[in-house]
Amino acid sequence: MTWVSVVQLGSGADRGANLEAIEKSLRTAAGAGSAFAFLPEASIYRGPYDPAYVEADDGPALRRIAGLARELRLAVVLGGAWTPSGDAAHAYNSCLVFDRSGRIAARYRKVHLFRLDRTDEPADDEAAFTAPGDDTAVVRAGDITLGLSICYDLRFPALYRNLAAAGATVLSVPANFSAYTGPAHWEALLRARAIENLCYVLAPAQIGTDSTGFSAYGHSLVVDPWGTVVARADDAPAVLTVDLDPEAVRVRRNELRSLQHDRPDVYAHPARIEELDG
Ligand SMILES: O=C(O)CNC(=O)[C@H](CS)NC(=O)CCC(=O)C(=O)O
């Protein structure tokens, strides 16, 4: 069994205040006996793009989180942080996995960049300041194998199938999901990813409106491999602590063999287009 804590934050443009909130939540997670803490996207900073806040692995905010992981003997999955891409105008949006000695042991760079063109508001266009990643990663960690993703990736089911094929039993979906799309899409998509891959889904989220006017939906969620919601937050800061049972994934995958019935060899070819006349 593996205890994990899923953290909901309302990060803003004040990095010092955000790091204080992160520290408090990590201490709560460690105090609850968790082996892992999952932090949402944009935990360290949520506001307009600023190249000064793009950090290499030895940057000050990342070192502070590394120090907390080491002190608390707690692995930390930092949902999204800006890391250098080689182009100062565009950073990677990276999920960084700190092991319990504080080392950055794994990383994933967000592949799908959010764009929303509302008719009634200015567009959100993450690609304006973010460089896309182009590979995927799972992290083997004792009894669980963690599949990494970030926020808008949630809309691309092939990514999660790729992670499940690499052995993922727990899917990590840290988010700063919009309050516009969230009510209709967030829970349905998270539960779908859990059900179709027979995986746990851990989804730490942001709350509140940032200084750019972006409103986040909150409602951090933990879903089990049968699609049942086992923990949820509302729209206040929260630490959801749950016990993951690796056996539950094995049992469900023996009951329902949909992962083995997948036919990517078939879907690799475009569908035949037939005509119905008259
Ligand atoms: O800008 C940052 O600091 C980090 N990036 C984000 O928060 C991104 C772009 S605004 N948010 C999403 O992907 C929300 C997706 C979403 O809401 C949906 O798919 O409906």
Task: Out of 44, 78, 96, 152, give the residue to mutate to test ligand 1, the one with the largest number of ligand atoms within 8 Å of its CB.
Answer: 152
Cα 97 to Cα 103: distance, rounded to the nearest angstrom = 8
State both tokens at 71.
């002190």
State both tokens at 104.
């950055």
Q: How do residues 139-152 score in pLDDT, each as one tens digit?
A: 999 999 999 999 99
User: Once rounded to an integer, what is the mean pLDDT over residues 112-138?
Assistant: 95
Q: How do residues 214-224 score in pLDDT, each as one tens digit?
A: 999 999 999 99
CATH code, residues 2-267: 3.60.110.10
Q: Is 176 in the pocket of ligand 1 (CB under 6 A)?
A: yes
pLDDT on residue 273: 97
Q: What is the band of 18 on the pLDDT scale with cuts at 50, 70, 90?
A: very high
User: Once rounded to an integer, what is the mean pLDDT over residues 225-230?
Assistant: 98
Task: With H, G, I as helix, E, B as strand and everything else as coil, classify residue 27.
Answer: helix
The DSSP string of 205-270 is: BBEEE-TTSPEEE---EEE-TTS-EEEE--SS-EEEEEEE-HHHHHHHHHH--HHHH--HHHHTSP
The DSSP string of 104-148 is: EEEEEE--SPPEE--SSSPPEEGGGTEEPP----EEEETTEEEEE
Asked whether residue 73 carries a pLDDT value surpassing 90, the answer given is yes
Task: With H, G, I as helix, E, B as strand and everything else as coil, classify residue 43.
Answer: coil
> Which residue, 39, 86, 88, 47, is CA-closest to 64?
39
* Domain residue extents for the chain: 2-267
Q: What is the band of 95 on the pLDDT scale with cuts at 50, 70, 90?
A: very high
Cα 109 to Cα 92: distance, rounded to the nearest angstrom = 6
pLDDT on residue 121: 86
List, in order, residues 6 or more apart from 166 with CB less than 8 Å away.
136, 138, 145, 147
> Which residue, 202, 203, 231, is CA-closest to 216?
203
pLDDT on residue 122: 84
* Residues in a beta bridge with 116: 124
User: Once rounded to an integer, what is the mean pLDDT over residues 199-204?
Assistant: 99
User: Once rounded to an integer, what is the mean pLDDT over residues 179-208?
Assistant: 98
C-alpha dihedral (161, 165, 169, 171), degrees to nearest 10: -40
User: Once rounded to an integer, what is the mean pLDDT over residues 248-258?
Assistant: 98
Strands 200-203 and 170-172: parallel
* Residues in a beta bridge with 232: 221
Q: In angstroms, what is the span from residue 188 Cα to ligand 1's centroid? A: 17
Q: How do residues 33-50 score in pLDDT, each as one tens digit?
A: 999 999 999 999 999 999
Ligand 1, atom 15: closest residue by C-alpha: 152
Task: Out of 178, 209, 220, give the residue to mutate to test ligand 1, the one with the largest number of ligand atoms within 8 Å of its CB.
Answer: 178
Q: What is the position in ligand 1's atom list of the atom closest to the CA of 93?
A: 4
pLDDT on residue 3: 98
Asked whether residue 138 carries a pLDDT value surpassing 90, the answer given is yes
> Which residue, 36, 7, 48, 12, is CA-closest to 24?
7
Asked whether residue 278 carries a pLDDT value surpassing 90, the answer given is no
pLDDT on residue 27: 98
Query: Do 77 and 39 touch, CB atoms closer than 8 A?
Result: yes
